[in-house]
Amino acid sequence: MSMGTQTLLRGSVLTVRRRFAAGIDITEGAVRLVVVSKRLQANRPVCVERLEEILLEPGVVIGGDFIDRMAISAALREAISRLPARGTLRSLRCAMALPASATLTTRVPLARLAQTSEMSISAAAGRDPRGLLEPAVLAEAERVAGIERGALAVDWSIQALENGGAEVSIAATGRQYVESRVETAAAANIVLSAIDGEPGAALRALRYSAAMEIDPLERFVACWVESAGLHAWLVGEEGVENEVRYPSPEYSSATEALTDLVGDELPVHWIYIGGDIELLNRAGVSTPMLAALFDCPVMPFECAPFCNGAQRVNERLAHSPLFAVAMGLALREVMP
């Protein structure tokens, strides 16, 4: 959920050569922080500057609810205190996640929303597409959530597609979830620039990682595993082609859900998995099993390929798939 004027916030950092941002993921077990940087006007991958993990006591966070805000704020303060004292790393754009259970997401073709708002596509590509599109976006969020817009906090972004078109990603949640995160962060002297849904953040990290490693014509499955289940997307040349969630009434197993996701028309070349992969193993779905089932490599998400900065990053954390959400949140704040 955008916390201020995008143009103003982004413009304030365009005077520096490198843009810095942090993604903060708060789960039932830990606070995870990823700090990334991106050279401006340079077509290079982002650089992971820092990875931090502060464990939380059981009961501090339950589901999407912050039960002990003081404990969470203390963990946030500790994570930030570990960053170098350089001004660029202390004055970060910070984004935080909302749990999937509290977030409704949808993607709508830009052309459809532009038509709804009586706006031309050329206007959408102009100086302030957000202001022109906002009424249509809020109406769509209200329709999808079934809750009047006054009780919703809505976030959205415009994303270019490979075919030259564009789509609008919309996330909506109850205002109380946003307020608890803003207030908890503020108690740790952190001003949030954005709040995003966990699935969307995880997908962003998985797609970014895949884009750095595989041919853009290859289809892949992006999986994110969390305590409430499995989220999976089929990604092709033109973006997300299909998505599933498990548990779901129509599927008897995670493998059935993934098989339905992929279909039988075209092959899938890769599978990328982020999140708590151990939960998949406990459910009897191992990565070797998936590799055999779909006849393609299975790649756990990790930040390691991007840890090429001046800062030393903890090796264990660099290879942990648990940082997918935090990485996706940080990416959101440095990518154009």
* CATH number for the domain that contains residue 243: 3.30.420.40
Give residue 177's pLDDT band: very low, low, confident or very high (50, 70, 90).
confident
In the chain, the amino acid numbered 242 is N
Report the alpha-carbon distance of residue 258 to residue 312 in Å, rounded: 37
Same domain, 38 and 88: yes
Report the alpha-carbon distance of residue 185 to residue 76 in Å, rounded: 7
Same domain, 163 and 235: no
- Which structural domain, as residue segments, surrounds residue 74? 18-102+175-200+305-334
Number of domains observed in the structure of the chain:
3
* CATH number for the domain that contains residue 125: 3.30.1490.300
Residue 29, domain member (yes or no)? yes
What are 188-226's pLDDT values in tens digits? 999 999 888 899 999 999 999 999 999 988 999 999 999
Report the alpha-carbon distance of residue 33 to residue 303 in Å, rounded: 12
SS (H, E, C) 208-251: HHHHHHCCCCCCEEEEEEECCEEEEEEEECCEEEEEEEECCCCC
Q: What pLDDT sits at residue 2?
A: 47
Q: What pLDDT sits at residue 66?
A: 94
Report the alpha-carbon distance of residue 297 to residue 269 in Å, rounded: 7
Q: What pLDDT sits at residue 86?
A: 65
What are 129-145's pLDDT values in tens digits? 566 788 888 888 888 88
Same domain, 221 and 292: yes
Report the alpha-carbon distance of residue 261 to residue 232 in Å, rounded: 8
Say whether pTM exceeds 0.85.
Answer: no
